[in-house]
């Protein structure tokens, strides 16, 4: 019988980018969340990347790259504008922190 090798585990901070030591991890997590929303909307509305690109005012290869995780070149504001172009309301809510540290998050 072969023995399984036990892997060491480390608890997550809740931000995989911070756990990996990515610079500006908080901003990267926000961008990833916004891109995930964009991807879900494109899928739910059964839009082709070409149609989504036209709505967002960019070309199809940029949509493909963005949905494949290449979105560092986009600002949070621009990603929010893409969501608006896809027919979504974007609300920014500011309030007292609910956890030990204040945070940015996408709901």
* Stronger pLDDT, 81 or 17, i.e. the higher one: 81
Burial of 11 (0-12, 13-18, 19+ CB in 10 A): exposed
pLDDT on residue 103: 73
Minimal CA–CA distance to 82: which of 45, 48, 56?
56
Fold annotation for 23-85: 434 Repressor (Amino-terminal Domain) (1.10.260)
Per-residue pLDDT tens digits for 28-71:
999 999 999 999 999 999 999 999 999 999 999 999 999 999 99
Delimit the domains of the chain by residue range: 23-85
**48-87 b/e with 16+ CB inside 10 Å = b?**
ebeebbebbebeeebbeebbeeebeebeeeebbebbeebe
Assign 10 a pLDDT band (cuts: 50, 70, 90): confident
Query: Which residue in the block uniquely carries the two structure tokens 């940015």?
Result: 104
Asked if the model's pLDDT at residue 1 lies above 60, the reply is: no
Mean pLDDT of the chain: 90
């Amino acid at each position: 019988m072969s023995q399984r090798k036990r892997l060491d585990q480390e608890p997550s901070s809740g931000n995989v980018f911070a756990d990996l030591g990515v610079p500006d991890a908080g901003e990267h997590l926000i961008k990833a969340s916004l891109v995930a929303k964009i991807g879900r909307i494109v899928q739910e509305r059964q839009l082709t990347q070409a149609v989504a690109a036209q709505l967002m005012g960019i070309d199809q290869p940029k949509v493909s790259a963005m949905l494949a995780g290449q979105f560092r070149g986009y600002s949070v504001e621009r990603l929010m504008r893409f969501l608006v172009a896809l027919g979504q309301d974007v609300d920014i809510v500011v309030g007292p922190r609910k956890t030990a540290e204040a945070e940015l998050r996408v709901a």
